[in-house]
Amino acid sequence: MDPDATNGLLRHTLATVAYRGGKALRGAQLGFSEFRAQDGSRSAGEILAHLGDLIDWALSIAEGAQSWQNSPPRVWELDVARFFDALRKLDAYLASGRPFAVSAERLFQGPIADALTHIGQIAMLRRLAGSPVRGENYFVADIAVGRVGSEQSAPRREFA
């Protein structure tokens, strides 16, 4: 695959992570950070902190200085900001044209795909906690390369 096309697809994937993440993270009820599906499972706040760790890890992998941390959850809003800040940093690296220290496929299959999984877990926890995120036809969503912050377009077609 053409490196520019691969990079474009990775950047579009990050924009998708930001869009879907924003939807799952916005409007969480007070105390949601501590909500768990059951005893012994990760809390929503622990999953969110892990999301920030994943995106930080993805950047370190791309740069060739792989580094992992297990961050404890903080105040929900701070970890939401950290998640989007990490996405902006990773997207900026991808946009810079600098080479990746690993293949784009490995970068995707590890931290980026894992981030999508955990966003789905947070969405499921929102439903279990009584504050569901509305379903949406993501095929028609306004997702744009480079739009990786918390400010996202309004949904085009949500389901009741």
Distance CA 17, CA 22 (A): 8
Distance CA 16, CA 18 (A): 5
pLDDT at position 1: 52
Maximum separation of any 2 CA atoms in the chain, in Å: 47
Distance CA 147, CA 67 (A): 25
Superfamily of domain 3-136: dinb family like domain (1.20.120.450)
Q: What is the pLDDT of residues 54-107, one digit of tens each?
A: 999 999 999 999 999 999 999 999 999 999 999 999 999 999 989 889 999 999
Q: What is the pLDDT of residues 120-149, one digit of tens each?
A: 999 999 999 999 999 999 999 999 999 999
Q: What is the mean pLDDT of residues 12-19?
A: 97
Distance CA 135, CA 137 (A): 7
